[in-house]
């Protein structure tokens, strides 16, 4: 503010005249009855989320109790548990098991890779480096999801940079041996479960780093020093001091990595085998197969799994680390 403006301000009356009319009346009403204001503020967001979102979720849940007529392909709008029964067919159980295993492995790998980054950022990075670390985690987190997947398609392609690099290092035989293995192998990395796994870890990793870092920020540095003063080796300090204190953060991060892997259908579609994950099953059931009830029942699986997961996480105090 310039000096002139400040002078004008200073000479103006400090107490504003009361405003009359509708505006004044409304203002007075809000002051006397704060509940009215509260209600008015809450109404639009609650209506929007309640109708658009919760309403849709219930519409979805309702559909999972319908069934599809196998001959006509029409949806039979009568209450039945038959569709849920279909979930337990061997092929569908396979899909669920495959997805949960992948989610667990992805979570584990993200935790292992995230820990050193989070620990360094929380304990050693200061000033400029701290900001750099923060942006270094935030930029990949916010970069376009599809672009990230696309980048890995470039990397994992048979003619891509990874093969080239391994060839230069004379390590191509390692890749070939790995690809010849059952389950994890395939024609090239971009059409194997290994590729799917790498991309999942890459895309969800920042979601793990942030809560782990938040948990580690709260560990006082002298705790680690006390541990080593008392004769613990770095490994012992990690096992007995750091890890238990970081665990709520890891669990909080695993909520994201686990849930996001359970629901994703684009990554396994672009980089992976033809064997389906839950997300792909949902997508193909509602799209090409037109079996919306089964698709709806499939989406209930991650909701139930995440429900149990969140319940367990809450008991471990993971929500304080978010």
Partner 1 sequence: MRSDGSQSAPLGLKIAAACGLLFLHLPILLIFVYAFTTEEKSFVWPPPGLTTQWFAVTWNRPDVWQALSLSVRVAAISTAIALVLGTLCSAAVSRTKFFGRETISLLVILPIALPGIITGIALRSAFSLADIPFSFWTIVLGHATFCVVVVYNNAVARFRRTSGSMIEASMDLGADGFQTFRHVVLPNIATALLAGGMLAFALSFDEVIVTTFTAGQQQTLPIWMLEELIRPRQRPVTNVVAMVVVLVTLLPILAAYYLTRDGDQIAGSGK
Residues 244-303 that bind partner 1 (CB under 8 A): 259-260, 262-266, 269-270, 279, 282-283, 286, 292, 295-296, 299, 302-303
- Residues in the interface with partner 1 (CB under 8 A) total 104
What would the two tokens of residue 315 be?
């008991």
What would the two tokens of residue 281 be?
């099953």
Taking CB under 8 A as the criterion, the residue among 90, 91, 147, 169 binding partner 1 is 147
**Residue 18 and residue 20: Cα distance in Å, rounded?**
6
Our finding on whether 179 is near partner 1 (CB under 8 A) is: no
Q: What angle do CA 166, 170, 175 make, to 5 degrees?
A: 50
Length of the chain: 322
In angstroms, give the least distance from the CB of 93 to partner 1. 19
Bridge partners of 75, per DSSP, are: 68
Q: Are 271 and 199 in contact (CB under 8 A)?
A: yes
- Near partner 1 in 70-129, by CB under 8 A: 113-114, 116-117, 119-121, 123-124
What would the two tokens of residue 220 be?
């006082």
CA atoms lying within 13 Å on the CB side of residue 320: 11
- Near partner 1 in 181-240, by CB under 8 A: 202, 205-207, 210, 221-222, 225, 228-229, 234
Which one of 4-12, 51-59, 90-98, 239-247 is the stretch in contact with partner 1 (CB under 8 A)? 51-59
In angstroms, give the least distance from the CB of 182 to partner 1. 26
Our finding on whether 149 is near partner 1 (CB under 8 A) is: yes
Taking CB under 8 A as the criterion, the residue among 81, 139, 174, 181 binding partner 1 is 139
Beta strand ranges found along the chain (DSSP E): 67-68, 75-76
Tokens 């509602």, located at residue: 286
Taking CB under 8 A as the criterion, the residue among 100, 109, 111, 155 binding partner 1 is 155
């Amino acid at each position: 503010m310039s000096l002139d403006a400040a002078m004008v301000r200073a000479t103006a009356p400090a107490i504003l005249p009361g405003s009359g009319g509708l505006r004044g009346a409304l203002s007075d009403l809000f002051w006397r009855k704060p509940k009215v204001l509260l209600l008015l503020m809450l109404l639009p967001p609650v209506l929007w989320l309640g109708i658009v979102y919760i309403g849709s979720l219930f519409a979805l849940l309702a559909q999972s109790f319908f069934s599809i007529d196998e001959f006509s392909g029409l949806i039979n709008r009568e209450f039945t548990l038959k569709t849920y029964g279909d979930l337990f067919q061997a092929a569908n159980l396979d899909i669920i098991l495959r997805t949960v295993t992948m989610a667990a492995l992805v979570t584990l790998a993200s935790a292992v890779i995230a820990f050193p980054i989070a620990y360094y950022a929380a304990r050693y990075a200061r000033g400029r480096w701290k900001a750099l670390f923060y942006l270094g985690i935030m930029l990949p987190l916010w970069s376009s999801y599809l672009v990230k997947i696309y980048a890995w398609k470039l990397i994992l392609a048979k003619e891509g940079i990874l093969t080239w690099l391994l060839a230069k290092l004379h390590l191509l035989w390692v890749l070939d041996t790995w690809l010849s293995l059952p389950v994890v192998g395939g024609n090239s990395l971009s059409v194997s479960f290994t590729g799917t796994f790498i991309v999942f870890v890459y895309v969800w990793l920042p979601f793990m780093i942030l809560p782990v870092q938040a948990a580690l920020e709260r560990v006082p540095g002298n705790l680690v020093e006390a541990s080593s003063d008392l004769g613990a080796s770095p490994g012992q300090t990690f096992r007995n001091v750091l890890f238990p204190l970081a665990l709520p953060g890891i669990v909080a991060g695993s909520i994201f990595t686990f849930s996001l892997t359970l629901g994703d259908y684009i990554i396994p579609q672009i980089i992976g085998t033809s064997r389906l994950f839950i997300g792909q099953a949902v997508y193909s059931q509602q799209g090409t197969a037109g079996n919306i009830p089964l698709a709806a029942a499939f989406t209930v699986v991650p909701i139930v799994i995440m429900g149990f997961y969140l319940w367990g996480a809450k008991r471990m105090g993971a929500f304080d680390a978010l």
